[in-house]
Amino acid sequence: MQLRNTRSGYGLVAILFHWMMALLIIGLFLFGKYMTGLDPMAPDTFALYQLHKSLGFVVLALVLARLAWRLANPSPALPETMPGIERLAAHLGHAGLYALMLAIPLSGWLMVSASPWGIPTVVFDILPVPHLPVPDALGSKAEAERTLKGLHELLANGLLLLVVLHVAAALKHHFLNRDDVLRRMVRTGSETHPR
Ligand code: HEM
Ligand code: HEM
């Protein structure tokens, strides 16, 4: 079983990171949209918000571990036949996905730190997380919370858009270009060559 990446394919660790995080993030997106539509005073709403925060911290921890793993591993080369502009789009797209995987939980953390309610964050009721210092430039606590809510929503919607493009690109590789780009994110040890 190949754990590490090679220049031609992803290892098991990168593949598990990718699919675990894809599921978790898409789930958290839907969860966020669902919970913000609930009656804030309903008995279960508070617990759902706390669960959203806890799972968001799991994403933050996983993306830091994933970036460390990425730095310690070779990145599989893109197919040689890919035009320069598509290579650039792939690199920018992946960088954007990593940036959003970091920025969305951080904006959520900053948002709950700004809340005038001062609700503590205890990940899965076990691990207390301190509030972040909120920049004065964001105004009063209530103003800062409103701005950061808007930012969290905007970044999450931006991620959705980028993921749609990312999936479309993966499907184009598989069905139109007929290369190994999608298959090498599903199983280890595949080579980059036309089918
Ligand atoms: C990758 C991780 C995350 C994703 C994809 C995500 C996604 C979302 C989405 C889509 C919403 C609904 C926004 C709207 O349409 O109004 C939302 C709301 C919210 N998120 Fe997250 N979130 C993540 C992480 C976090 C974290 C780490 C925290 C806090 C520590 C957090 C706190 C909140 C709160 C408090 C709301 C409700 C905001 C409101 O009342 O309008 N989220 N999130
Ligand atoms: C929230 C959802 C997702 C996120 C955040 C995400 C993020 C990423 C990132 C950051 C990479 C670059 C990995 C690296 O080289 O370090 C990547 C690669 C990849 N993703 Fe996703 N992804 C998501 C969903 C999906 C889905 C649903 C598909 C399939 C249809 C997919 C297919 C791929 C493929 C094929 C690659 C490999 C590209 C290559 O070999 O260069 N991803 N993804």
Pocket-forming residues, ligand 2, beta carbon under 6 Å: 18, 22, 25-26, 70, 75-76, 78, 90, 94, 97-98, 101, 163, 166-167, 170, 181-182, 184-185
Q: Give the Cα separation of 147 and 137 in Å (integer).
A: 11
- Residue located nearest, by CA, to atom 10 of ligand 2: 94
Q: At a CB cut-off of 8 Å and minimum separation 6, what does 2 contact? A: 9, 11, 12, 188, 189
Is 179:117 a contact under the CB 8 Å cutoff? Answer: no
Of the ligands numbered here, which is closest to the C-alpha atom of 162? 2
pLDDT in tens, 134-181: 999 999 999 999 999 999 999 999 999 999 999 999 999 999 999 999
CA of 83 to the centre of ligand 2 (A): 19
Q: What is the dihedral of CA 133, 136, 139, 145, to 10 degrees?
A: -20
- How many C-beta atoms lie closer than 10 Å to residue 44's C-beta? 10
Per-residue pLDDT of the chain (195 residues; tens, 9 = 90+): 799 999 999 999 999 999 999 999 999 999 999 999 999 999 999 999 999 999 999 999 999 999 999 999 999 999 999 999 999 999 999 999 999 999 999 999 999 999 999 999 999 999 999 999 999 999 999 999 999 999 999 999 999 999 999 999 999 999 999 999 999 999 997 554 444
- How many C-beta atoms lie closer than 10 Å to residue 25's C-beta? 24
Is 184:76 a contact under the CB 8 Å cutoff? Answer: yes
